[in-house]
Structure formats: C-alpha cells, structure tokens
Copies of this chain bind each other. A is one copy, B any other.
Amino acid sequence: MVRVGLTTERVVRAGAELADEVGFDQVTVSELARRFDVKVASLYSHVTSSQDLKTRIALFALEELADRAADALAGRAGKDALIAFANAYRDYGREHPGRAAAARLRLDPETAAASAGVRHARMTRAILRGYDLTEPDQTHAVRLLGSVFHGYSSLETAGGFSHSAPDSQESWTRILDALDALLRNWPTAPTL
C-alpha cells in the first residue's frame, strides 16, 4: 500500500485542472480518484462531499483570479488599470475555462463573504477611484463592470463570439474603450 500523499490542497488543485479539461460540471470525485490512482473512498478524507469539492475549487479559483488581478493592477491607474484588470479576467477565462466557471458557482452568503470575492469587489472599486464617481454611482459602476467581465467571459467560453467577424479580441478592446469613456462621462441624472 503506497501512500500517494493526498491533501485537500492537492485534491482541490487537481480538481481545478480536471475542470479545465472536462468542464466544471463534469468534475467528479470518482474521476479524480482515478487520476490519483486511488480508491474513491480515500478522497472522502480530504473533501466531505462532491459539493464540498466543487465549492473548494470555486474558492481556489476566486483566490487565484484575485491574485492575478492584483498583479495586473500593481502600479497602474486610470484606463491602464481598467484594461489590465479586465484582461486578467478575460485571460483567466480563456486559459482556465473550468476554473472560471467554478468562480461563477453560486456560493451561500457566509461562504461568499469569507471568499476572495470581497477582494475582487475591493479591487474593482480601487480602479474606479481613477474616475470621478461618487456613491451610489460607484457601486452601480462596480456592478456594471462585474456583469461585463463575468458575462463576456461566459459568452466567449460558450463560443458565442467565435466564427463571426469582427473577432473577439477586437470587440473586447473596443468594449473596454467604451467602458472607459462611459466611466469618464457617467450620466449623473436619469435622462427622463
């Protein structure tokens, strides 16, 4: 009986890789066991359930993405920061579609509150300090940016923008230009 050296950490990391390969919702404890060449029951010492595994992968992805976004943000401000930050999201989604899907998993409120999700929100807000927005507009803008990053990545992964001109990269660049322009010129009052 050779010990493989399983830890929750390693299991989750392997789960993230599996998600990128086969899709987040195809991630299964059984498949993971196969990859470690270990019996299924053994993994249940490290995760409590299949759901637990998925939640941990989601938290892992949120952390990893937050780290990347923080790196991208370092030393930048204004439109530069916006673009670098946005690209961190899009690139992550393209490189790691499974993990990105995991990061979109619905978490229960307490779990979400303790997750790296709050770092994401803080960073988005930091970017907006480069624009002239006061509350509550800043919050509206945070939500808009979250929706766009989230939504674009999701649609792009689903293949929504492939096989049609103009290519996705061009749309992305122009959308970021547009968002920058919008943030610099955020409408103050509803145009009724």
Q: Chain A residues in contact with chain B, CB under 8 A?
A: 25, 79, 104, 106-107, 109, 112, 136-137, 139-141, 143-144, 146-152, 154-155, 157-161, 163-166, 170-171, 173-175, 177-178, 180-182, 185-187, 190-191
Complex Cα gap A8–B2 (Å) = 51
Across the interface, do B147 and A152 meet the contact criterion of CB distance under 8 Å? yes
Separation of A79 and B107 alpha carbons in the complex (Å):
35
Task: Give the copy number.
Answer: 2
Please state if A154 and B104 are interface contacts (CB–CB under 8 Å). Answer: yes
A190 engages B173 (CB within 8 Å): yes
Q: A148: which of B144, B173, B181, B191 is its contact (CB, 8 Å)?
A: B144
Residues of B within 8 Å of A186, CB to CB, are: 178
Q: Which of B144, B150, B151 contacts A178 (CB 8 A)?
A: B144
Cβ–Cβ contact A155 & B147, under 8 A? yes
Q: Is the CB of A190 within 8 A of B161?
A: no
Q: How far is the CA of A50 from the CA of B15 in the complex (A)?
A: 23
**Given A25-B25, A136-B165, A171-B140, is A159 in contact with B109 using a C-beta cutoff of 8 Å?**
yes
Question: Given the complex, which residues of B lie within 8 Å of A144, measured CB to CB?
Answer: 148, 152, 171, 175, 178
A182 to B147, CA, bound (A): 16
Chain B: which residue is nearest A174 at the CB level? B140
B166 and A139 contacting across the interface, CB-CB below 8 Å? yes
